[in-house]
Amino acid sequence: MSAEGHDLTSELLYGMRLLGLQYRRIELAAPFGVGFVKAAGRAQFHFISRGPVLLRTQNGKLRTLNTGDALLLPHGSDHVLLSSPDVACKDIRAFNVTPVCGNVCCIKECAEEAPRENTALIFSGCMEFDLGGMQMLIGSMPEVLLADTLIHKYPEVQPMLEAMERESLGKRAGYAGILARLADVVAAFIVRGWVESGCGAAGGWLEALRDPKLGKALVALHRNPGKNWTVAQLAAEMGSSRSVFAERFLAVTGMTPVRYLTNLRMQLAAQWIGRDGETIESVAWRLGYGSLAAFSRAFKRTTGITPGALRAVESQRASVQA
C-alpha cells in the first residue's frame, strides 16, 4: 500500500471500536476440547497463557498455539481449542463458570495437583467489533489474525503479551480487569497491524483506497455519509472530471457513486438502529434523508426489510440472549 493509501485507510480506522463483552479465564487439564460458535457482529480473541493448544478453524485447518501467543478471529467463526486433534469437543457455554468481576468469569476443570505440563491456561474474550463506515473491511479479513506477526513492527506489543501472561498466571488483586483491558488493546493492535501491512491479499473496494486520487473521494464519503454528494463534488475531491471519476469509480468498486453511498448509509443505519438503539428518525436525519418515508424506502430496497422490522428482530434477539 502506498504511503498515501496507508494514511487514508488508517484515518478511517480512527473510529474503530473493539470492545470486550465477555471474558473467560479457562484452565483445563488434558484431554480437552472447547468449542466456540459464531455470534453475529462479534470477534473472538484468545491469549494462550500456558500452552501448547491446538486451534481448529471452521475449514478444518489445525494450527498450534504456544505459550504467549495471541490471536483474533475477526468474524468470530466457529472454531475449537484442543489438547490433541482427536479429542471430543464441549461447547464453551456448557462449562460451569465462576464469576470473577464484571464481565469476567473463570472456568476451571483440573485438579489443583495436576501437573502444569498437562494443563492449559487460556484467556478469551468475545468482542464487539465495529469499524463504523469501514465495516465492510471486516469481510476482507482472514479467518485468523495472529499477534506474533506484529512483534517486529510493533515491539510495544511484546511487553503487553508478557503482562497478560503474568496477570493470568499470578491472579493478583485486580488481575481480571487488567487482563480485559490488555486484551482489548492487543486485539486493536492486531487489526491495525493487518491494515497497515496492506490488508493482506484483500482486493475489491480496498483497491480504491490504495488509489491516491480515488481514495480521497472514498474517504470524503465515509467521513460525511450524510452529505448529499453529487458526482461533481466527488470528482473535485479526486481532482478529475465527472466522467473520468465516474468511470474510474465504477471500474474499481463495481458500483456507481450513488449506489455506493446508499449502501454505505444503509450499513451504518443497520448498526445504529439495530445495535446502538438509535431512533429511526434520528438515523434518517444523520444520513441526510429529508423524510422518514424516503429513508424507510431506501432501507427496505437495500436490505430487504424495514427499519422497524430490524428494530423488532434485534429487540427479540437481545431478550433471548438476556
Residue 16 vs residue 250, higher pLDDT = 250
| CA–CA dist 113, 172 (Å, integer) | 20
First CA to last CA distance, the chain: 43
The domain ranges of the chain are: 3-196, 206-321
Express each pLDDT in 131-167 by its tens digit: 766 666 777 788 899 888 777 778 888 899 999 999 8
Check pLDDT > 90 for residue 243: yes
Does domain 206-321 fall under CATH 1.10.10.60? My reply is yes
Percentage of residues in the chain with pLDDT exceeding 90? 43
Per-residue pLDDT tens digits for 88-133? 999 999 999 999 988 999 999 886 665 667 799 999 999 988 776 6
Helix count and strand count (H, E) for the chain: 11, 12
| Cis omega (within 30 of 0) for bond into 99 | no
Q: Which CATH number is associated with domain 3-196?
A: 2.60.120.10
Rounded to 5°, angle at Cα 80 from 188 and 25: 60
Please check whether residue 312 is in contact with residue 252, taking contact to mean a CB–CB distance below 8 angstroms: no
This prediction's pTM: 0.74
Burial label for 174, CB within 10 Å (0-12, 13-18, 19+), is exposed
The reported pLDDT for the residue numbered 202 is 52
User: What is the predicted pLDDT for the residue at 299?
Assistant: 93
More confident residue, 313 or 69: 69
